[in-house]
Structure 1
Amino acid sequence: MDDYKFNEVKDVRWESINPEDGNIKFRKNKRKSVFSGFLRFVAFIIIASISGGVSGAYIVNRKYNSNQGNYGMLQNDEISTDYNSQKLNSTGNTISKVADMVGPAVVGVSNKAETFWGTIDQGIGSGIIFDSNGYIVTNYHVIEGAKEVTVKLSNGKVFPAKLVGYDKRTDLAVIKIDAKNLPTAKFGDSSKVRVGDVAVAIGNPLGEEFAGSVTAGIISALNRTMKHDGAIYKVLQTDAAINPGNSGGPLVNENGEVIGINSLKIGAEANAEGMGFAIAINEAKVIIDALMSDGKVKRPSLGVLGQTVSSRDGKIKGFYVNEVVPASGAAAAGIKPTDIIIELDNVKVNGFDDLAEILDKHKIGDKVSCKVWRDGSTKELNITLKEVKETNS
């Protein structure tokens, strides 16, 4: 203990005990110097933070101002801070681009009829130029009963049009004007359309006064089958506004491709809003090709006329044959009036709609099996489908 002079140490404290040698070490207290250093460190941090914040704000402001109008384009470590603004801006640009791309190929189609008072306008619809040599597709009901058809281009020029062909069943028609090098619309693939996709309608709602109107929405439903005035439609449903005069105009996707031909709208009669319909372009292309080559659509037919029937107990349902067309496939197979067709091509038939749907899957010359209910029993027959002239029955 003589080696230590405790009276010379003003302030000591325990630091550690070495368990091996039992020695005790001492050190001077440095609280004051440590506290002073800590204050200097805090002051340095505060100054650095203020300086960094000012510099950061300046850099961010420069970055933001230099990138305005380029929403959604993130570079390196830049972060978008206004997602909704970007999304709205992007959608707006998409619709504008679609309108610029397709608008020049959309025309007004006027239907003029001869009356006691002379030639009058029956109405106006829309059409789509799909061939630069003047070929235009529109709805059949737009030109139905017309004495004269005229077409007004987006640049204001007016041309007389002649009928190439029409198909009342699908409400489609092709007309032609004498002009060259016209702007055309590109047909898309309606099988790739999904519910929720952007849908843009372009046309002439309510006449020439509102020519070139653009409305937008989404695809609401796919593969709808509808009947209107005796025609059968396979359509896309959209909430894009489609009004009288839009008929025959395009329904377009966000890539500027035509995915449908606007045809009809459930309006006041059904007390419904936001329900527009367009003939799916994949369906329309088949019809357009047929009209271009033959002026009509050749369809297979059984060769029977009749109506949908059902027994009172509901056990027998089918298509009741009123008349068999001479020289038809049905006549050759032995179908007779009063027969009830209950099955065709191994598919149950509950009425005319089923019959039509089955026939749409076949071509002229195909052989199909047929079951009929005759005099209380079932008979099986084979029918070769032939082309039969359409009637209004």
Structure 2
Amino acid sequence: MQENNYEVKEVDWENIAEEKYGSIKFRRRRSSVKRLFKAVALIAIAALSGAVTSSYIVEKRYSEEAKVKMENKDKQENFAETPYGSIAKVAEVVGPTVVGIIRTSPDILGNIDKSSGSGIIFDSNGYIVTNYHVIEGADEINVKLPSGQNYLKAKFIGSDTTSDLAIIKIDAQNLPAAKFGDSSKIRVGDLAIAIGNPIGEEFAGTVTAGIISALNRKIQYGGSIYRVLQTDAAINPGNSGGALCNEEGEIIGINSLKLRDSQYDNVEGIGFAIAINEAKSILDEIMKYGRVARPRLGIYGRDAVSEDSNGIKGVYVSGVIKGSGAEKAGVKPTDILIEIEGKKIVKFEDMSEILEKHKIGDSIKCKVWRNGKNIDMTIVLADIKNDKTVNP
């Protein structure tokens, strides 16, 4: 048996013909170091991303909690500040603008009669607003500033008896002046602060506080109808002409009246102030012309009672102003005005509301009751400059 011997040669793998033996592909083994590095990198990125996300969530959560706490703190501070903190601030700001007023006039026996009231500096050049009834009939008007010891003589600038407002002036400059607010924004229940001189000089600068009890009350007083704010802040004699303020230290009303009724022994907690929005235009006219032009019939009157008219309702004419449209039309004292422009008149307020819708020079048809008869008249409304002379 012949034994075959083969010669074996070592061949480089790279020299093997591809077409003859096919291609051979080699799988290179990846470095374990690189795989470890990538794994570590992925872990690091994941950890960093988690840390950033959690940090953002925690920061946002705590910032929101801090914000809520701050808001609650502010609310608590504001609540704690109202009303007592704000009252003190208002007193500091408004107090220096509220003055004392002394009216001096002789009485019927020739004795000197003095009465006191309050006023508000609304112009730094010495202009002061007060109630007309505070200075009515005065021979001399004196003003005492909160910062002064002596009284300063004041001169009369002008007035409007219908609104019970007047302006006086003292010879002074650079005075602290009050800021007027917007009484249309007032709500029932809002804080109300009254500053004035009740009962005279001894109690000058008295501050009382309460709330706004009612809006747009209609009060008949002295033959006129007033639209006023009602408050339970203490308003006493001498407070008239003083300031009613909101918690921002703005004037929202001019203290004017305190309810007095014979059917009650003591009426407390019911005071009234002329709303500042009602007063602004009036003060502007007084400053320009010294008075306010209003259409008027030319009578003084009140609600008729059974003793006047045997049950007839209307406005009892207590006096007629000489030269007025009422006098020219033939209206006489003791007449009862029962109808204007076809509308029944039951009380004085009804007459005032109708006249407010007319202007000076308008001719209006009226009906009066006199001695059991109804009489038709036409009255020309006029701006009566001198209403002191009344036909008895």
TM-score by length of 1: 0.68
Residues 183-214 of structure 1: CA deviation (Å, up to 9, x unaligned): 11112222222110110101112222222221
Q: Does 1:133 align with 2:128?
A: no
User: Residue 187 of structure 1 aligns to a residue in which SS?
Assistant: coil
Other-structure match for 2:387: 390
Give the whole-Å Cα distance in 2 for the aligned partners of 1:132 and 1:353: 37
Is 1:177 the equivalent of 2:156? no
Cα distance, 1:96–1:343 mapped onto 2, change above 3 Å: same
2:188 match: secondary structure: coil
Q: Once the 2 structures are TM-superposed, how far is the Cα of residue 139 of structure 1 from its aligned partner?
A: 1.6
Q: Deviations over 1:3-33 (max 9, x none)?
A: xxxxxxxxxxxxxxxxxxxxxxxxxxxxxxx
Question: In the aligned structure 2, how far is the partner of 1:81 from the partner of 1:215?
Answer: 29
Q: What's 1:66 paired with?
A: none
Matched with 1:39 is none
Counting only pairs closer than 5 Å after superposition, residues 183-222 of structure 1 correspond to structure 2 as 183-222=176-215
Letter in 2 for 1:105: T
Greater shift in the superposed pair: 347-356 or 312-321 = 312-321
Query: Is 1:294 aligned to 2:289, yes or no?
Result: yes
Secondary structure at 1:216's aligned position in 2? strand
The structure in which a higher percent of residues are strand is 1
Which of 124, 142, 146 aligns to 1:154? It is 146
What residue in structure 2 maps to residue 76 of structure 1? 67
Deviation at 1:107, TM superposition (A): 0.9
Q: Does 1:99 align with 2:94?
A: no
Q: Which moved more, 1:248-257 or 1:336-345?
A: 336-345
Alignment-mate amino acid for residue 387 of structure 2: E
Change (3 A) 1:290 1:230: same
Provide the C-alpha distance between the structure 2 equivalents of 1:118 and 1:326, rounded to a whole number of angstroms: 28
More divergent stretch after superposition (290-299 vs 256-265): 290-299
Which amino acid counterpart does residue 234 of structure 1 have in structure 2? Answer: R
Aligned 8 A contact 1:135 1:176 in 2: yes
Aligned amino acid, residue 351 of structure 2: L
- After superposition, what is the alpha-carbon deviation per residue over 1:261-317, rounded to whole angstroms, capped at 9, x for unaligned? 111223696412111111122222233223222323322123456665578999953
Contact 2:94 2:178 in 1 (8 A): yes
The alignment partner of 1:112 has SS state of strand
> What do residues 57-77 of structure 1 show as CA deviations (whole Å, max 9, x unaligned)?
xxxxxxxxxxxxxxxxx9514
Change (3 A) 1:78 1:209: same
Structure 1 residue corresponding to 2:81, chosen from 66, 89, 92: 89
Note the alpha carbon deviations across 1:43-66, whole angstroms, 9 max, x for none.
Answer: xxxxxxxxxxxxxxxxxxxxxxxx
**TM-superposed deviation, 1:374:** 8.4
Q: Report the count of equivalent residues.
A: 322
Deviations 1:70-123 (A, max 9, x none): xxxx95142748977752333222212222221121111122335799986713
* Aligned equivalent of 2:254: 261
Structure 2: distance between partners of 1:318 and 1:116: 34
| 1:352 lines up with 2:345 in the alignment | no
Q: Are 2:320 and 2:332, in contact at CA under 8 Å, matched by a contact in 1? A: yes
Q: Match of 1:54?
A: none
Give the Cα separation in 1 of the matches to 2:215 and 2:82. Answer: 25
Tell me, in whole angstroms, the C-alpha distance in 1 between the residues paired with 2:213 and 2:112. 38
1:275-290 aligned at under 5 Å gives the runs: 275-290=270-285
1:365 lines up with 2:361 in the alignment: yes
Partners of 1:179 and 1:261 in 2: how far apart?
22
Distance 2:334 2:112 in 1: 47
| Alignment-mate amino acid for residue 288 of structure 2 | S
- Do 1:110 and 1:121's aligned partners in 2 also have CA atoms closer than 8 Å? no
Q: Match for 2:357: what amino acid? A: K
Instruction: State the SS of the aligned residue for 1:209.
Output: helix
**Secondary structure in 1 matching 2:192:** strand
User: Is residue 2:269 matched to residue 1:274?
Assistant: yes
Residues 311-326 of structure 1 correspond to what in structure 2 (within 5 A)? Answer: 317-319=313-315
**Aligned-pair CA distance for 1:234:** 2.2
| 2: CA distance, partners of 1:377 / 1:115 | 41
Structure 1, unpaired ranges of 5+: 1-73
Q: TM-score, normalised by structure 2?
A: 0.68
Residue 142 (structure 1) aligns with: 134
CA contact (8 A) 1:112 1:119 kept: no
Distance (Å, rounded) in 1 between the aligned partners of 2:341 and 2:369:
15
Greater CA drift, 341-350 or 78-87: 78-87
Give distance in 2, aligned partners of 1:222 and 1:236.
5
What SS does the corresponding residue of 2:241 show, helix, strand or coil?
A: coil
Retained in 1: the 8 A contact 2:225–2:352?
Answer: no
In structure 2, C-alpha distance between the alignment counterparts of 1:100 and 1:257, rounded to whole Å: 12
- Taking a change above 3 Å as real, the CA distance of residues 253 and 318 of structure 1, as seen in their structure-2 partners, is same
- The letter for the 2-side match of 1:348 is K
C-alpha separation between the residues in 1 aligned to 2:256 and 2:276? 12
Distance 1:204 1:242 in 2: 10
Counterpart residue identity of residue 296, structure 1: R
Identity of aligned residues (%): 57
Displacement of 1:381: 6.4
Cα pair distance change 1:160/1:77, threshold 3 Å: same
